[in-house]
Amino acid sequence: MIEVRNLAKRFRLPTRGGRTPLARDPRDHDGWFHAVRDVHFHCGPGEVLGLLGPNGAGKTTTLRLLSTALKPDAGSIHANGADLLADPLYARRHIGFLSGSTGLYGRLTARENIEYFGRLHGMTPARLQRRCDELFDLLQMHQFAHKRADQLSTGMKQRCSIARTVVHEPQIVILDEPTTGLDVMSAKVLLDFIASYKAMGVPLIFSTHHLHEVEKLCDRVCIINHGRTVFHGGMDQLRLQGGSADLYDAFVGIVNREP
């Protein structure tokens, strides 16, 4: 279980000649850009939460706060009873986080990359070998296991990045737009992977712009707009509040309703 309450994060705006440029975004004021202003949601065991919102809404910043890559200015994050802001090492041990910039070492093979990150997590050789075999089956990676990362296709690299994200068997998984730029077959492998974690009872949060993925996998949705949670609930509630049975129209209805 992960629960987020009243999360906020701001960044100092750059100055020109000692003066702050005129505000171009409703979140620009007092010399700060308030990327996240009031985000709240929760995701329970075996649930998949879809994090949605327009470009620049604050989704990626929110996920980086959950991973402890950034420290919030306000709010709380609790996972399985632990305060992640007070104990960020707990978060890094128990959360698997895939960001849009998660990288691989190009000169290492796919398997060597995953083994390297497993060793960083302190995994024993026997456990690491078993885990790699599981992930290579689950993500269909055996055919390129011994291929260098800098020779992999985009889809292969993404599968490898996800495998390194979950090699330590985290209790919570967070994925930032995992299927962006992938072909249909690679995207299906990753969506099946998400479904498998749901079946294992692991809370999983992923951001996406593809609402068909949300409809297929998600139990709950959180929509962020201008740094604030403007909707948090189930799919039926989303359609009801959005005023349409069509998920795309319902999403647009909720976002456009915000001032």
Three-class DSSP labels, the chain: CEEEEEEEEEEECCCECCECCCCCCCCEECCEEEEEEEEEEEECCCCEEEEECCCCCCHHHHHHHHCCCCCCCEEEEEECCEECCCCHHHHHHHEEEECCCCCCCCCCEHHHHHHHHHHHCCCCHHHHHHHHHHHHHHCCCHHHCCCEHHHCCHHHHHHHHHHHHHCCCCCEEEEECCCCCCCHHHHHHHHHHHHHHHHCCCCEEEECCCHHHHHHHCCEEEEEECCEEEEEECHHHHHHHHCCCCHHHHHHHHHHHCC
Could you tell me the domains of the chain?
2-102+172-257 (3.40.50.300)
pTM of the predicted protein model:
0.90
Question: At 18, is the pLDDT very low, low, confident or very high (cuts 50, 70, 90)?
Answer: low
What's the rounded mean pLDDT across residues 78-106? 88
Residues 2, 83: Cα–Cα separation, whole Å: 10
Burial, 183: exposed, middle or buried (Cβ in 10 Å; 0-12, 13-18, 19+)? exposed
What's the rounded mean pLDDT across residues 114-131? 96
23 pLDDT above the threshold of 80: no
pLDDT at position 111 = 97
pLDDT at position 257 = 86
200 pLDDT above the threshold of 60: yes
Residues 77, 65: Cα–Cα separation, whole Å: 9
pLDDT at position 29 = 79
What's the rounded mean pLDDT across residues 44-63? 94
Share of the chain above pLDDT 70, in %: 95
pLDDT at position 17 = 59
Burial, 110: exposed, middle or buried (Cβ in 10 Å; 0-12, 13-18, 19+)? buried
Please provide the average confidence, as pLDDT, over all residues in the chain. 91
What's the sign of the alpha-carbon dihedral 76, 81, 83, 84? negative
Q: Are the C-beta atoms of 104 and 160 separated by less than 8 Å?
A: yes
92 pLDDT above the threshold of 90: no
Residues 216, 236: Cα–Cα separation, whole Å: 13
Residues 97, 166: Cα–Cα separation, whole Å: 8
Counting every residue written for the chain, the total comes to 259
pLDDT at position 99 = 85
In sequence order, the 6+-apart residues with CB closer than 8 A to the CB of 167 are 114, 117, 118, 121, 123, 128, 131, 132, 135
13 pLDDT above the threshold of 90: no
Residues 97, 44: Cα–Cα separation, whole Å: 17
What's the rounded mean pLDDT across residues 74-86? 93
